[in-house]
């Protein structure tokens, strides 16, 4: 056995560096000294994923995809899944808020485009000019 010069911890004879501090200088340990047993690392238990956490992820992904394809299907699904994920999910509440905002903006854009296409919104409201 040998003792570290820097931190005074016990190390095995075949160690080139101290287990505690990494120092490479040792002195002989007192007679009968034993290296203390290393405690087992504590198991860190993370929160389990719930169904609502998956709703949050689905809501965010579908809100982004809904901007490009089948917005009238994906944006309402995204909005409802994200609200459920925000209300009951244990993780990613910020992601749920982002998905709610993106889905709401996507639905508003789709609504205004549809109303403009069928002639219910005058052109001056879109362009911002009153000229004919």
Cβ atoms of 86 and 96 within 8 Å: the answer is yes
Asked if the model's pLDDT at residue 68 lies above 60, the reply is: yes
**How many Å apart are CA 94 and CA 88, to the nearest integer?**
13
* 22 and 58 assigned to the same domain: no
Q: Which of 4, 3, 11, 17 is nearest to 38 (CA)?
A: 11
Q: What is the mean pLDDT of residues 62-75?
A: 88
Percent over 90 (pLDDT), the chain: 27
| 3-class secondary-structure state, position 120 | coil
- pTM: predicted TM-score of the whole model, two decimal places: 0.58
* 61 and 24 assigned to the same domain: no
Q: What is the mean pLDDT of residues 77-102?
A: 91
* 65 and 32 assigned to the same domain: no
Domain span holding position 22: 1-36
* 79 and 118 assigned to the same domain: yes
Q: What is the pLDDT of residue 63?
A: 93
* 13 and 55 assigned to the same domain: no
Q: Based on the structure, what is the number of domains in the chain?
A: 2
Helix (H) or strand (E) holding 87: helix 71-88
Cβ atoms of 27 and 3 within 8 Å: the answer is yes
């Amino acid at each position: 056995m040998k003792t570290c010069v820097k931190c005074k911890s016990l190390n095995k004879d075949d160690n080139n560096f101290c287990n505690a501090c990494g120092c490479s200088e040792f002195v002989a340990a007192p007679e009968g000294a034993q290296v203390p047993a290393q405690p087992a690392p504590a198991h860190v238990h993370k929160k389990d994923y719930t169904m609502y956490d998956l709703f949050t992820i689905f809501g965010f992904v579908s809100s982004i995809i809904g901007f490009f394809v089948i917005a009238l299907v994906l944006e309402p699904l995204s909005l409802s899944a994200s609200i459920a994920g925000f209300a009951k999910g244990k993780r990613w509440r910020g992601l749920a808020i982002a998905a709610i905002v993106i889905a709401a903006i996507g639905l508003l854009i789709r609504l205004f485009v549809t109303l403009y296409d069928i002639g219910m919104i005058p052109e001056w409201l879109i362009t911002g000019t009153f000229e004919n």
